[in-house]
Amino acid sequence: MSRKREEKEYQKSFPYRFSRWLKGEEDPFIGRLEMKPQVPRESPERHFDPSDYEDIKRRSRDHAHNKRWQGYGKLYQVSSVFICTALIALLVYAVSYLPPVGETGNPANNEVPERYITKGLEETGAVNIVTGMILNYRAFDTFGESTVLFVATGCVMLILMTGKSRGKRGTAEEGTGNGMAERTSITDTGDSMSEKISAEASGKRGILAEGSRSRRTEAGIQISVGTVGIETGNRVSMGIETGNRISKEIETGEPKTEETVGTDPILQVIAKLVCPAVFLFGIYVILNGHISPGGGFSGGAIIGAGLILYTNAYGFEKTERFFTKKTYTGISVSALSFYCLAKSYSFFTGANHMENMIPNGTPGAIISSGLILPLNICVGLVVSCTIYAFYALFRKGGL
């Protein structure tokens, strides 16, 4: 008898829904959750563009141009300098009563660092006491730090990628990716873009989340992205508008196009020489975190810098062969989960169990000091991915 379940029965089951969610075919919230259609962000009645600056300057607290505020500006500056000087004076006064720097008997040098220094090597197996401290005695603190980095990347992605994937950056990438040679066919690009937008909107089952945001370019061309075009069904005109904007941007060269990245032969030769050394050095610093200065954070920063150098030399296309959003998510999430699992044993041993289950080994050897080496590797992976992710997010608005 086959153990295969009936198709109908399987479709009701959790694994089926989970696999569909994993493949991105189904959003578990749509249809199951009562959702109000998001009120489209009301477009400003009066558009704000550089030509309005003068008017605003006259009416606002622009001290140079507004006579009413001229005295206020002086007063503000003087009083803020006064407040800050008073703050500095107060703090200097407090510092003068602090114990003198560099003495052994200072209150900061109490029994806690004494314990770390005298017993640290036996208890953690790490020659570098700071690493032993942050990855064994205070490992949860470091876990929190890595999570902060991950969450910060998530927030930056949320800010920079959502609004733009349908708005400015997305179309700009589409347009500039095709290059200047295809400027004649830009109307087509805009058209396909608008189709894509409408497809997305219909995919959201009428929940028009994004987009009646209007803005003006410097040339004053009115652009409406999103719902306005879709609701009226006026795709073609919108496409032309988008196309106009793209060609405008190409002409002014305002956003950096992909073509300018990765064409400098000097940078490429240097990067070819330097990049392997940088990566090797970063790996060295991470792996020797417990026996020499360094560790996951500094080594991860070095590897991230190497990735940025590589990207600058060869362009995002080459980097995307091995580092995409998927890679970022996979590496970060698995490193953080491993860290979490590796350290959560102490919950089951009464949260007071600081000994490693893994023997500490000989102090000074690479494979020693229990869990510190794998935890260092995890931290290094998270940090290097985060640094490169920040760079890519700010440079091109997406991973």
Partner 1 sequence: MGNNLASNFAEIAAVVLFGIGFTDLFLHKNLIKKIIGLNIMDTAVYLFLAVKGYISGLKAPIIENGVQSTEAYINPIPSGLVLTGIVVSVSVSALMLALTVALYERYHTLDLDMISFYERSKDRS
Q: Which of 11, 38, 60, 263 binds partner 1 (CB under 8 A)?
A: 60
Which residue, 139 or 197, is less far from partner 1 as judged by CB? 139
Does residue 148 interact with partner 1 by CB under 8 A?
Answer: yes
- One residue of 91, 221, 270, 354 binding partner 1 per CB under 8 A: 91
d(CA 101, CA 95) in angstroms, rounded, equals 10
Q: Binding of partner 1 at residue 151 (CB under 8 A)?
A: yes
The interface with partner 1 within residues 178-207 (CB under 8 A) comprises none
**What CA–CA distance (Å, rounded) separates 342 from 144?**
14
Distance separating alpha carbons of residues 179 and 160, to the nearest angstrom = 23
d(C-alpha 118, C-alpha 5), whole Å: 62
- Residue with Cβ nearer partner 1 (106 or 185): 106
Give the x/- contact pattern for partner 1 in 245-284, rule: CB under 8 A. ----------------------------------------
Interface with partner 1 by CB under 8 A: which range of 94-102, 226-234, 271-279, 323-331? 94-102
- CB 315 → partner 1: shortest distance, Å? 22
Amino acid at 26: E
Region near partner 1 per CB under 8 A, out of 15-23, 155-163, 195-203, 319-327:
155-163
Instruction: Enter the DSSP assignment of 216.
Output: E
CB 282 within 8 A of CB 302: yes
Per-residue mark of binding to partner 1, 278-317 (x: CB under 8 A):
--------------xx---x--------------------
219 contributes a contact to partner 1 by CB under 8 A: no
Binding window for partner 1 (CB under 8 A); candidates: 18-26, 122-130, 192-200, 201-209: 122-130
354 is a contact residue toward partner 1 (CB under 8 A): no
Q: Which of 166, 193, 178 is nearest to 249 (CA)?
A: 178
Q: Which of 1, 33, 39, 98 binds partner 1 (CB under 8 A)?
A: 98
User: Are 242 and 225 contacting, i.e. CB atoms less than 8 angstroms apart?
Assistant: yes
Label the pairing between strands 214-216 and 222-224: antiparallel
Burial 220-242 (b: 16+ CB within 10 A, else e): eeebbbbbbbbeeeebeebbebb
- 10 Å CB burial of residue 383 (0-12, 13-18, 19+) is buried
Instruction: Single out the segment in contact with partner 1 by CB under 8 A; choices: 46-54, 243-251, 312-320, 368-376.
Output: 46-54
